[in-house]
Structure formats: C-alpha cells, structure tokens
Structure 1
Amino acid sequence: MLGAQRRGLVIFLALPLVLTPAAVLAQQAKGTADPGPVATPTQAAPPLHKMGVSAKDRRRRVDSSQWPWSSLGRINRVIGGHCTGALIAANWVLTAAHCLYNFNDRRWAIPSDVHFVAGYDRGKFAGHGIAKRFVLSPGFIPRSNGDLGDITRDWALIELDRKLDLKPIPIAAQDLTLGNGQAHVAVAGYSGDFREVLTADQDCDVIAQLTPGPADAKLWLHDCDETFGASGAPLLHAAGGKTEIVGIQNAIITTGEGREFSTAVPLSAFHAALSQISR
C-alpha cells in the first residue's frame, strides 16, 4: 500500500494484490494454456474496514459467463499479484499502467510474464492470452510517492499473443458529460477480498472531476465500491441499450477529513492511443 500527502490528500495506488503463497492454475482441458499464477483459497478475513469500500458494500458477484462480464479478466503476474483488465479488441486489453510496474525492483514487467484470464471464476475461464507487448502512457511516471498529476495518465494497453473468441467491450466515443457534476457508472473487478470471483458495484456515480496537472489532464472521483486488486477495472456506462467503457479505476484518495474516494482515468487520456490497436 503506497501513500503520499498532497494538498491534504493521501493517495493510495490500488496496486496489484500480491498473493503469497501463489499456485498455478491446472490446465482446464487438453490444449488449454496455463493462465498463470493464482492464489490458493484462504479463510475469510474478519470484518474490517476495506479501503475504497463503503460500510454498505454494494459489490455483488456477477456471472462471468455473461457479457460484458465475460470480457473482463484477471491480469496475473508471474512474480505474483493481480489486477483487472478489459478486453477491448480480440487481442487487446485495457488496464492501469501501474499494474505492469514492479515497484520492488523499479522495472516494468516483462510482457511474457503477464497473463490475461478472461471471464475468470474460481479456476474456470472463457479465454487466456499472454502479453506480447505493452503500449504505455508516455506521461506516466511510476513512483511510490503518489501524485495526482501522475495518476491522470495511469493507463496501459496490452497486446496479447493470440485473439480471443470473445465479444470485446466497446469504448465510448467521447468523455461522459457530468450532468450536475455527476454521471451514473458501474465498476467490476477482482478485488483482493474476492479474488476468485468477479464482483461489481452497479449503482455508483462519478461525483467530481479534477484537473491536477495540465489543463487537458483530468481525473475523476467516484463512489464505486472497489479495493486493491480491482485496479485497471473499467468504468462502465450503460445508456440507449449500449454498455461502453468510459474510464479506468486506478487509485483511492483519502482527504484530510478521512473521507475516501476512488479515482479513475477518463477515456480522453487514452483515446488517441486506441488508433494503434488492431480490431
């Protein structure tokens, strides 16, 4: 857990949850590739406050075999730990950049050490691919002291070594308009306390927009219940019969008064980079 005091805020990157000991998933069927390391089940922790989760805890388990949940997955790292990612094209995954950085040795992960397991649910999955290369935000600086300006650029694209036979989740054409300063969204991820199943908060809102760096760099505050392990999870917006990605969950901030808010990078930060991907 990383924190830094900035203008009365304490910033916590929702880092990849490190799991010790880790186990490797058994092959699910003949010819199925090994999807990388996953944690062994552990006893439930006592009911303590979870950073980023309200007292009501609106997270509910969702069916990973049904779209759009089937195109969300765990990003597993060989060195340990996981985040969440979304399939946005047959062989491209969207996530948070800090999920691909090893803060212990201060190096970016080797792509072949990163696995994406789509529709993961307690050892079962809908698709699996190994990272072939990363497209990283040119302005993101991975550092342990946390900075609001940095996390406005906390996004990454992962090209997989194969195309997955799954329906991608489309990305909206433009940023959400925050009517009265708010917009209704949903977030689904593999939180550390429910790491074997996908949980979602489908009743939450973007509540404010910050511009902590350059004028074109924005950061959203939202009240969705998610915690460590859900970093890289997409913010989903449903309207007119469509479900689209409008941002990326990436951190939690605590105000000087002790109030917690989750943060998200809006799609305007990475929209230009989408021209690099093959659909």
Structure 2
Amino acid sequence: MSGIPYIDADTLTSLLSWRAAGDALEAALRAGLDPAASRPRSSVATSAGELLLMPAESADAVGVKLLSLAPANPFAGLPRIQGLYVLFDAATLTPRLLIEGSALTSLRTPAVSALAVRYLAAPDARVVAVFGTGPQALAHVRAVAAIRPITSVRVVSRRPSGADGLCAALQDQGLTARPGGVETVRDADIVLCATTSPVPVFDGDLLADHACVVAIGSHRPGVRELDERVFARAARVVAEDRDTALREAGDVVMAVAGGALVASDLIDLAEMLCAPAVPGISVFKSVGMGWQDLVVAEAARAAWLTGVPA
C-alpha cells in the first residue's frame, strides 16, 4: 500500500483542466457509459456526521470515493467535507492510485455542470449569478468561465463576509465580481446554486426567460434549492440520470410531487448531448454520481502516467 501513487489537490489541478475533465465525461457518455448502471451511494451515520461511499466500475478500472461530512468542522477551522479516492485495476482489483477526495469532487462536479452548460446556456452568456460562497461556488464559476465569455458575476449569500471573500477570489482570477441580492437573477444568463440551504434560494418567477439554471447543493429528497416555479417555467430539465434524480434530488422530487414537473419529461445527461436546442429556461440538477468520479480519476491517471497535462 505504501507504494501506491498519491495525487494531491495541487497535482490534480495541474493534470486536468475544467474543459479536459468535461471532455472526458462527454466522451464516456458518447461511448455508451450508462449512468443508470452506476451503483447508488451509501451513507453511514457517525457521531460527528456521516460517511459517504461512492463506488463505480468501468472496463478498465474500479473506483470508490469515501467522503466524510462533518457539519461542525468549519467552526473548528477544518473542512466540512474531506475524503479519499481509490482507483483499482478492474481485472485484479489491485490498488493503482489514490486521489485527494475533496479535490476530485471539486473538479468533477463543476466539470459535469460545465458540460451541461455547454449544451444548455446561450453561447454568448455573459452574466452569472451564484448562490453560495464555498469551494463549489468558486469552482463552478471558474468552470463556466472556461466555456462561456463571462463578463460579470454576482455573488448572493446570507453572509456578507462570505460574499466578499468569494468576490475577492474571483477578482484575483480576472473575473469581475461583486455581491448582489436575490433580485440579480433577473439579469443573469446563468444561475449557479451551490448552497446547503434546505429551502429554495430564489423565486423562480424572477428568472430571465432564457436563463440556464444549475443546482448542485443537495442529494437528499427532502431538500431543494429551486422552487416549483423554476420547473414550471422550464422548457428543458436535465439530470444525470432520471431514476437517480427521482430518488435523490429533492428539487426534482418535490417539483414532481407538486405537479410542476412531469417525471417522464426529465432528460438524461446522455440524451441531452443529442437533443436539439430549444428556447426558454433550462435546468440542470446534479446530485453527483460515482461514474463521474471514476471517469475523471481515470483521465487524471492517464495524464499522470504520460506526464502531459490535459
């Protein structure tokens, strides 16, 4: 075990760009990867929080991500989410690679969202409203800015200090950003929701008629960031996998229960790649799935073995 290579956060970032990670995910879907075959995550409660186990398998590799979620950690100056990813050889189940788990999540989640945005958002989308100020909020703005000509970012947060901090981080990376209120969604081409809120973070009636909305904050059926009006107004709603969304995505579960969304109208991510563009509001709801970690981990290993960043 001591001889297994380990990819830390900085190394992972140097190996794979947002675009390369998204390209790997798209290639896997186009090659026939079936998200519906992905094994569901499992959760184990602990005294400090919970452990999440996310396994997946491909023709060449088996992988598993183990994450810990400790809600009280931020108050002690520690990350709320920590973890480790283990990549095994598919034939022998020999461990081949270890990857820092939170870094992998911070890469693959925005990469999946950016893949959806690539197909759902207007090519000239320039204004982003982002709800949340954590690592995923920062990573999502960066990933979207890699594929769209973003000129303005409005950060919405209940904590002014958090909004100021994210704005500073985005400005350091050359993006124009400033704090904003909920009403900023009126002018947003792309709305990113990356919060821990258990209730909707804005009124769906505020959305511009062309907005692309991405929600990634929860994988629990009783929690949602988007209200029913978002779904009632949407011309297209995309999820990684229809059945998984109907089981885990509270935004989708509650919209269906409230009559704002018909379950059969949900579009799988793979279907989106071949579907024609349609005008109107689009929604991508992500819960995160093990196949995404595996695809990105395999791409990272390939880049690491060749020494050529992707």
Q: Which category of TM-score, normalised to the shorter sequence, fits these structures?
A: under 0.3
Q: TM-score, normalised by structure 2?
A: 0.22
Give the structure with the higher percent helix.
2
Give the structure with the higher percent strand.
1
Q: Name which structure has the greater RCO, CA cutoff 8 Å, separation 6+.
A: 1
